[in-house]
Structure 1
Amino acid sequence: MSNKSIESLEYISDQLNRYLASIIFLFGITGNIMSCLVLSQRRLRSNPCALLFLISSFIGLISILVGLPTRILAGWHVDPTATINWICKTRAFIIFSTRTMSIWLITLATIDRWLISSIDIHRRQMSNLKNVKRAIFITVILSILSYIHMFPCYEANITNAPLKCYEYTVRCLLVTDLIYVIFSIMIPLILMIIFGLLTISYVHRTHTHVARASNALRIIDHNRHVNQNSKKTDHHLLRMLLLQIFSLIVLCIPQVIQKLYITFKPFDSGSKLEDAIKTFLYNIDILLAFMASAMPFYIYVLAGGSVIKKAFMDLIRLIQRKIAC
């Protein structure tokens, strides 16, 4: 009975890697390319928050292009990362570093929305392209440095692990998992929740204090004039951001729990069936994490209102004109 259960879990994992991973790959590539094209339009990329979304989508595209093809191949038992060291190390480094960059860029976007919604003029002045570009550069460098240790730590042909390409020492496993759980997931998500709630609080107070509404609106506008288009863009960007935060929490937390569980209760500490269940759940968590990288464009279309839809239609018209020429 135990052997049949193990075989069933392995079979389901293979099917998920073959077909669900392929679907995530197609939707993720399409969505992130569309996000990059839409958000790179001049009237959007001049907005600090939209610029962060743009860079996050580009990095998410890299993560999907590098990470998901090997998951698909794993469903057919021809995953090169399982047997070739340099591919194993490079893929692991790119996946972890790009995922960290992407989630921190969304965190920065949350902080930017908090700054721009503040009634404090000094905070609002901190929301500008110069500061955002500096923050992007620092985020990329720190993310790379955080996972540079994966080159000596990761090895192919590992047994007693959820994947054949995995850390080969307990010390490496502990370092990578703690960095990933704390630095790449928990701290950014906590900051997103805190600054997201603060932003909602600012917006709520702006709308409820009717007597001070005109003054608040005047302050929020950098030019001290009410700009309806800018306000609409900021409103839709906030909605996009909040929905993306929710999706990140739902899709990333399961992998955090699973990695911590494997770290403190490693393979061979229980029965073969328990190890098979760990591997099965780990594979599902990996696909959920890739789903988080694939969803942004569809979130933007769903929550972006007329701002994103208009930018998308402008892009379609531009492509049609170029084809006609």
Structure 2
Amino acid sequence: MSNVSNTNLAETLDLISIQFNRYFSIFIFLFGTIGNLLNCLVLSRPSLRSNPCTFYFLISSIANIISIIFGLTSRILSGWHMDLTNTNAFLCKFRAFIMLVSRSIAFWLIAFATIDRWLSSCIEYQRRQYSSLKNAQQGTIYVVILSSIFYFQVLYCYDANMSLAPLRCYGKTIMCRLVTDLTYALVTILCPLLVMFIFGLLTISNIRQMHSMTSSQSKLIDVNENNKKTLKSTNPLRGRRKRIDRYLRHVLFVQIIFLTILTIPQVIEKLYTTLTMNQMKSSLNLAIEEFIYNIVLLLTYLASGMPFYIYTLSGGNTFRNALMNLFRIDYRHTLLRTDLKLKAIENTSK
């Protein structure tokens, strides 16, 4: 009787996994692709793109689009048993390599953005000088090269038609799975999150120091009324840059929290699956592991698709104003093109 109930539960979990791959994957695909495309359009505007932290966000959004397209397309097709990466070795290797490299790039660029926010908040002028667009561009190149090197072994390790694995396209040996999973857990997830956490705390410490210095300066201004006008900053450009910096710090911290919540479960699941792959498991245990794998995998794609919504909802008016200006400009251009076409038609008729 228990064997029958276990079989029924395993079949139910398999059915739920298929439904998740079919429909929730489509939702995340649309949700993430549209959001990251809007991110690219907004962050590439002249008012934002000169900021090095914004540049990291922009390239990270491009990497997220690549990760979602290459990763979720196969998940959606697998819901209808049409995923060619399950049976074609070349497509399996290529898809895994691009997806893992792009996700690593996206995570490390957010980590670099955290370092940039720390540099820009430092009291020392020499450290603030390192927060520049040139350094951000060079850092991005290093991240792309190193991420490709770390996952180059995927082109050998991954293979199609794998049995006794969470996916048909997976590592073909125990050593391959262990190396790939440890690389993903440490290089792509844990190390960037640790960097984000450390430099996030250092940034908060710098902000507190700056606030204490500002309060002491305001006391000096109150004592010496004659110097009040000269010490008070009235530069509107500087004030605008400070608002952008505050906005970037806020959305960065919110993004770090969501990245941690949505990606750590997959790290735990991957390590558990790899370390216990030689143990004898029942069909129910395998179904439970596959079900959990599908859920935590989709959570990581959700993390890749949500930056735009974090920037819009938690970043104050800076990002929202840039987004509205983008739509206004597109609307004006549409009206202008329409007017030109109408004038051309009128001239032709005359």
Confirm or deny a common fold (TM above 0.5).
yes
Q: Matches of 1:110 and 1:269 in 2, distance apart?
A: 44
Residue of structure 2 equivalent to 1:141: 145
**1:212: how far off?**
3.9
Please give the secondary structure, in 1, of the residue aligned with 2:248.
helix
Letter in 2 for 1:94: I
Equivalent of residue 81 in structure 1, options 82, 85, 89: 85
Q: Matches of 2:217 and 2:286 in 1, distance apart?
A: 61
Q: Please give the residue correspondences for 1:119-130 in structure 2 after superposition, counting only pairs within 5 Å.
A: 119-130=123-134
- Answer yes or no: is 1:61 the counterpart of 2:65: yes
Q: Which stretch of structure 1 is more off in the superposition, 248-257 or 194-203?
A: 194-203
Residue of structure 2 equivalent to 1:297: 308
Residue of structure 2 equivalent to 1:220: none
**1:104: how far off?**
0.1
Moved over 6 A (4+): none
Residue of structure 2 equivalent to 1:240: 251
- Answer yes or no: is 1:23 the counterpart of 2:33: no
Letter in 2 for 1:50: T
Q: Matches of 1:165 and 1:131 in 2, distance apart?
A: 38
Q: Matches of 1:13 and 1:214 in 2, distance apart?
A: 63
Q: Which stretch of structure 1 is more off in the superposition, 69-78 or 185-194?
A: 69-78
Q: Matches of 2:308 and 2:281 in 1, distance apart?
A: 42
- Answer yes or no: is 1:11 the counterpart of 2:15: yes
Q: Confirm or deny: 8 A CA contact 1:207 1:213 kept in the other structure.
A: no
Q: Which structure is larger by alpha-carbon Rg, 1 or 2?
A: 2
**1:285: how far off?**
1.1
Q: Matches of 2:7 and 2:177 in 1, distance apart?
A: 28
| Structure 1: runs of 5 or more not aligned | 216-223
Residue of structure 1 equivalent to 2:320: 309
Sequence identity percentage? 47
Q: Please give the residue correspondences for 1:272-287 in structure 2 after superposition, counting only pairs within 5 Å.
A: 272-287=283-298
Deviations 1:152-182 (A, max 9, x none): 1111100000000000101111111111111
Residue of structure 1 equivalent to 2:187: 183
Q: Which stretch of structure 1 is more off in the superposition, 29-38 or 270-279?
A: 270-279
**1:73: how far off?**
1.1
Q: Matches of 1:271 and 1:66 in 2, distance apart?
A: 32
User: TM-score if structure 1 supplies the norm length?
Assistant: 0.95
Aligned-residue RMSD, C-alpha: 1.6
Change (3 A) 1:23 1:200: same
Deviations 1:230-258 (A, max 9, x none): 00000000011001100110011000000
**1:44: how far off?**
0.4
